[in-house]
Chain A
Amino acid sequence: MIRDITIGQYYPADSVIHRLDPRTKLVGTLAFILSLFLFRSYAAYLVATVFLAGVIRASKVPFKFMVRGMKAIVFLLLITVVFNMFLTPGEPLVRIWKLTVTREGLELAIFMAIRLTYLIIGSSVMTLTTTPNQLTDGMEKGLRPLNKLHVPVHEMAMIMSIALRFIPILLEETDKIMKAQMARGADFESGGVIKKAKSMVPLLVPLFISAFRRANDLAMAMEARGYHGGEGRTKMKPLHYQKRDRAAYLTLVVYLLAMYGAKRIAGF
């Protein structure tokens, strides 16, 4: 189950979306997420659905990979939906025992569920079609102006890309340590919250030790390969906007206009 998290897992394929400049994809994802929160209406979400479906089609990534990322947040999603449904004051719809589902609550819950789902799928599209390095390259180049304000843009990008590379490795390691401890009779499942938290200690200690060892090794390997910060570095694949990026930005503008129109014109 641990390896099901798709964030940071690249799916190699040859598609228009894969070939887009990472900056385009970053801006696109951000605009998409913002649009979900700005244009709250069924009609607008219909437009968003069509747009998202189109992008997924174009990305050539099997849909099941997108949904995989969802598993990690199913719990969060459920909590959000339930809380919104029962705790929003307004016009009562159904009454279960002492809890009332209100019209406003139900609507809020539906919107929240759609938003969260699309948010995860939308960002999965980005991480599945962009290698983390491209992503951080995109951020590095996109945020370069901040360098003048002494924001360590390159260092931040490097930290992110390394974190992304090691997340799957550390997750796998967690899995391994867990199994090793279980084989020696450790019990991670039963008991209350406190007991469970306590049983995590023999898991976390070796994990931290190994993470530090890895960090140490990696720092040495980077140094050995002549890493000395962002200064004077060249790139194997420098970022240049292409024609397709212009087309993508245009599509994005059309999408945002459609969202705006859908919320304004269609009255639902």
Chain B
Amino acid sequence: MSIIQAKKLIHDYQKIGEDGKTEVSSRAVDGVDLDIAPGQFIAILGHNGSGKSTLAKHINAILLPTHGTVYVDGMDTKDAEKLEDIRRTAGMVFQNPDNQIIGTVVDEDVAFGPENMGVPTPEILSRVESSLKSVGMWEYRDHSPNRLSGGQKQRVAIAGVVAMEPKCIVLDEPTAMLDPMGRKEVIRAAQKLNREKQVTILLITHYMEEVIEADHVIVMDQGKILMQGTPREVFSRVEELKEHRLDVPQVTMLAYELKKSGLPLPDGILTVQELVDALDAARAQRGSAE
């Protein structure tokens, strides 16, 4: 059974118009269908305003669909009685680490979720310990979040979600405000959770190097899903992506340009190593042809 399912999901934001009275609605998500199997690592791409965050907020029932339905582990997010269950099934990590840490000490913050769920005290303690350890922040348990680096703060935020033992975690541009080191820390933490605890991960990002290791990539544009597939499938369609002003990994771009200028290279090269191997193969082929 799928962990997240969206059917013809539409979301309209209500805005107050220029004259201050009439309500204008703008469509942020426009008929999205999703079906995500448990244990997958999904990356969501798309440029600013394409509706990624709006979509993400539906998975945790922070926003409710204007039309269509979202199911989280079989529960309809519109069902108010399931709200608590939905929130403990799908956790959410936001972009700005400062604005999502509630506690003034690291371990108190991680305990916030389990406390809300009414988990008994001894179990909270063990959950806090294991989740802080899983993101490598256990040594910082009695530090103030204000004195941590961005990457560390974001890992604390992840631990706070992990402590609720969700089946699925949505990360909305968790690395956008971090330096390259911090970005690596956070992505590694997410990958580890995915591999070791089979937590389904939905990662929204603008960074291509974070996408290529995903199981599945979803590209959004103007509230719709533009294309989806494995990273290789998606990044084979360089032309289309460029048309929508979307990035592709640099190596993929280089391989694409080389191919266009005549080298016999395959589509959808994702890593430097792949390109090196493909170039070697191309040279060997030419050598044997001569």
- Residue A190 CB within 8 A of the other chain: no
List, in ascending order, chain B residues with CB within 8 A of A214's CB.
Answer: 96, 98-99
Q: A217-B96, A217-B100, A236-B107 are in contact. Are A225 and B121 (CB under 8 A)?
A: no
Q: Which of B92, B107, B146, B161 counts the most chain A CB atoms within 10 A?
A: B146
List, in ascending order, chain A residues with CB within 8 A of B118's CB.
Answer: 232-234
- Residue B216 CB within 8 A of the other chain: no
List, in ascending order, chain A residues with CB within 8 A of B160's CB.
Answer: 225
Contact (Cβ within 8 A) A236 B98: no
For chain A, the bracket of interface size reads 20 to 34
Q: A214-B98, A221-B100 are in contact. Are A234 and B60 (CB under 8 A)?
A: no
Contact (Cβ within 8 A) A235 B92: no
For chain B, the bracket of interface size reads 35 or more
List, in ascending order, chain B residues with CB within 8 A of A213's CB.
Answer: 99
Please measure, in the bound complex, the distance between the C-alpha atom of A224 and the C-alpha atom of B158, giving whole angstroms: 12
List, in ascending order, chain B residues with CB within 8 A of A241's CB.
Answer: none
Interface residues of A in 124-165 (CB under 8 A from B): 131-133, 161-162, 164-165
List, in ascending order, chain B residues with CB within 8 A of A233's CB.
Answer: 115-116, 118
Contact (Cβ within 8 A) B105 A226: no
Please measure, in the bound complex, the distance between the C-alpha atom of A121 and the C-alpha atom of B161, giving whole angstroms: 38
- Residue B39 CB within 8 A of the other chain: no
Contact (Cβ within 8 A) A226 B164: yes
Contact (Cβ within 8 A) A228 B116: yes
- Residue A4 CB within 8 A of the other chain: no
List, in ascending order, chain A residues with CB within 8 A of B254's CB.
Answer: none
Contact with A along B108-139 (1 / 0, CB 8 A): 10011111111111001100100000000000
- Residue B103 CB within 8 A of the other chain: yes
**Quick one: closest A residue to B111, CB to CB?**
A236
Contact (Cβ within 8 A) A164 B116: no
**Quick one: closest A residue to B119, CB to CB?**
A234
Q: A233-B116, A238-B121 are in contact. Are A218 and B102 (CB under 8 A)?
A: yes
Stretch with Cβ within 8 A of A (4 or more), from B6-14, B17-25, B83-91, B221-229 = B83-91
Interface residues of A in 1-55 (CB under 8 A from B): 9-10, 12
List, in ascending order, chain A residues with CB within 8 A of B164's CB.
Answer: 225-226
Please measure, in the bound complex, the distance between the C-alpha atom of A236 and the C-alpha atom of B123, giving whole angstroms: 9
List, in ascending order, chain B residues with CB within 8 A of A234's CB.
Answer: 114-115, 118-121, 124
List, in ascending order, chain B residues with CB within 8 A of A169's CB.
Answer: 98, 146
Contact (Cβ within 8 A) B102 A223: no
Please measure, in the bound complex, the distance between the C-alpha atom of A168 and the C-alpha atom of B62, giving whole angstroms: 28
List, in ascending order, chain A residues with CB within 8 A of B194's CB.
Answer: none
Contact (Cβ within 8 A) B125 A162: no
**Quick one: closest A residue to B163, CB to CB?**
A225
Contact (Cβ within 8 A) B144 A235: no
- Residue B143 CB within 8 A of the other chain: yes
Contact (Cβ within 8 A) A225 B62: no
Interface residues of A in 222-267 (CB under 8 A from B): 222-228, 232-238
Please measure, in the bound complex, the distance between the C-alpha atom of A235 and the C-alpha atom of B124, giving whole angstroms: 8
- Residue B271 CB within 8 A of the other chain: no
Contact with B along A57-87 (1 / 0, CB 8 A): 0000000000000000000000000000000
- Residue A182 CB within 8 A of the other chain: no
List, in ascending order, chain B residues with CB within 8 A of A12's CB.
Answer: 142-144
B: residues with CB less than 8 A from A are 57, 60, 62, 84, 87-88, 91-92, 94, 96, 98-105, 107-108, 111-121, 124-125, 128, 142-144, 146, 160-161, 164
Q: Which 8 A-B pairs have the closest CB atoms?
A: A221-B100, A217-B99, A236-B111, A226-B116, A225-B113, A224-B92, A236-B124, A226-B87
Sample of 15 more A-B contacts, CB < 8 Å, known A217-B94, A226-B88, A228-B116: A10-B104, A165-B101, A165-B104, A214-B98, A217-B99, A217-B100, A220-B94, A221-B100, A222-B112, A223-B62, A224-B62, A225-B91, A225-B160, A226-B84, A237-B108
Q: List 27 A-B contacts (CB under 8 A).
A: A9-B144, A12-B143, A133-B108, A164-B104, A165-B104, A169-B98, A214-B99, A217-B94, A220-B57, A221-B102, A224-B62, A224-B92, A225-B112, A225-B113, A226-B88, A227-B116, A228-B116, A233-B115, A233-B116, A233-B118, A234-B114, A234-B118, A234-B120, A235-B115, A235-B121, A236-B115, A238-B121
A: residues with CB less than 8 A from B are 9-10, 12, 131-133, 161-162, 164-165, 168-169, 213-214, 217-218, 220-228, 232-238
